[in-house]
Amino acid sequence: MPQAPTMRDVAERAGVSSMTVSRVLHGSSAVSADAKARVLAAVNELGYHRNEVARSLRLGRDTGLVGLVITNLANPFYSQLAVGVESVLTEHGIRAVLGNSGEDVEREREMIRDLVARRVDGIIVVPAGSDQSHLETVRRRGTPVVLGARPPDGVPLDCVLVDDFTGARAATNRLIDAGHQRIGFLGLPPATWTGSERFRGYCAALDAAGLPLDDRYVRRVGRDRGAAERAAAELLGLRKPPTALFSANNRNTIGAFRAIRAAGADTALAGFDDFELADTLGLPLTVVSYDAAEIGRQASRVLLSRMLDAADGGADAPPRRLIVPTTLIDYP
C-alpha cells in the first residue's frame, strides 16, 4: 500500500518550506499569491490530507501552548523577543506561556519541568547557564526545544543568535577609523556567551588594526549601570586614559555616558544595543542595533517547523543555527 503524502512532500513539490505549507493550510495572509497557488496545486496533485489527530496533538488543538522562558523580564531585549515569538505563534492559534528564570539555572529547570507537565507543544528558552542537559532530555522525550540568544553547549538543539562578534568588531572598527588607538572595553562577564563573543569582536578589530590589547583598558562588569559607571570612571582616571570606550550592552553604555559627563571628558563612545533616547544624550555615539523581535520570530518558526515534522512523522533534521544580523547607527 503506497505511503500517504506528507506535508514535507507537499513542500518539496511546491518548492517552499513546510512552514509556508502550514500557513497556506491555515489560511494565513502572510503568504504570496504565487506561493499559495503552488502549494494548493501540490496538495491537489499529491492528494494530501492533513493528519488531524497528529495536528491536534502538535499544533495547539490539545493544549495550544508553547513555553517561553527568558532570563530577565525587566530587560527590554526580552520583551521584544517575546513580542516576536507571540506574533508568529498567534498566526497558528497557539499561545505563549511566559516564564522568567531570573538567570537562575535551578529556577529554569523547575519552570521547564512545569511546562512539560502542562504538556506544552514546544519550548523556546534563553538558557541561564551552560548546563543544558535538562533541555536535551525534554527534546528526546518528544517536546521540541529551541534556544534564543545563546547557543547550545554540548547538546544538539536549534538556536537563534545575534551576530555578537560581527557587531562588536564593526563598532570597534568605527572608533579605530576615527583615529582612536586607546580604546577601553566595558564588557560582560566572560562566562556569558554575549560577553565572550563581544570581547572577541573587540579584540579582532584591534588585532586587524595592529593595535595591542592592553589589559589596563579592559573592565568586565555585570549588568548593573552603577558598576559600569564606576568601571568607566576608573578607566577615565588612568594616567593615560582611553580616548574611546566600547561597551558591551546598553546598560554599560549608559553607565559609561554618566562617567564621561561627570569627568567632563570628550571620550568617544560606542556600544552594543540601541536604546530609547540614545539620540538625545548630546555626545557622539555609535550603537550596534539589531531586531530583537526577529530573534523571537525566527525561534518560533524553527519551533513550529519541528512541531510540524513531529506531527507529520518526519525524521529529526540536524540542529539549525540562525543568525540575526546587526547594523551600526551613528547618533550625532
Q: pLDDT, tens digit, for every residue of 138-189?
A: 998 889 999 999 999 999 999 999 999 999 999 999 999 999 999 999 998 8
**pLDDT at position 314 over 80:** no
Residue ranges, CATH 3.40.50.2300, the chain = 62-162+293-322, 164-289
CATH topology of domain 7-50: 434 Repressor (Amino-terminal Domain) (1.10.260)
Identify the DSSP state of 242.
Answer: -
Q: Sorting pLDDT into bands at 50, 70 and 90, what band is 63?
A: confident
- The residue among 161, 166, 88 whose CA lies nearest residue 126 is 161
In this structure, whether the domain defined by 164-289 belongs to CATH 2.40.50.140 is answered with no
- Return the axis-axis angle of helices 292-311 and 76-91, rounded to nearest 10°: 40
Q: What is the mean pLDDT of the chain?
A: 90
Residue whose C-alpha cell reads 546598553 in the numeric block:
250
The grid coordinates listed for 191 are 562566562
**pLDDT at position 46 over 90:** no
C-alpha to C-alpha distance for 181 and 325, rounded to whole angstroms: 27
Q: Sorting pLDDT into bands at 50, 70 and 90, what band is 56?
A: very low
Q: Provide CB contacts within 8 A for 70, sequence distance 6+.
A: 78, 81, 82, 98, 99, 100, 101, 125, 126, 148
C-alpha to C-alpha distance for 121 and 18, rounded to whole angstroms: 17
Judging by beta carbons within 10 Å of its beta carbon (0-12, 13-18, 19+), is residue 54 exposed, middle or buried? Answer: middle
Of residues 74 and 66, more confidence is placed in 66
**pLDDT at position 307 over 90:** no
Tell me, yes or no, if the pTM score tops 0.85: no
**pLDDT at position 29 over 80:** no
**pLDDT at position 43 over 80:** yes
Q: Which CATH class is domain 62-162+293-322?
A: alpha beta
Say what percent of the chain tops pLDDT 90. Answer: 67
Q: Sorting pLDDT into bands at 50, 70 and 90, what band is 264?
A: very high
Residue ranges, CATH 1.10.260.40, the chain = 7-50
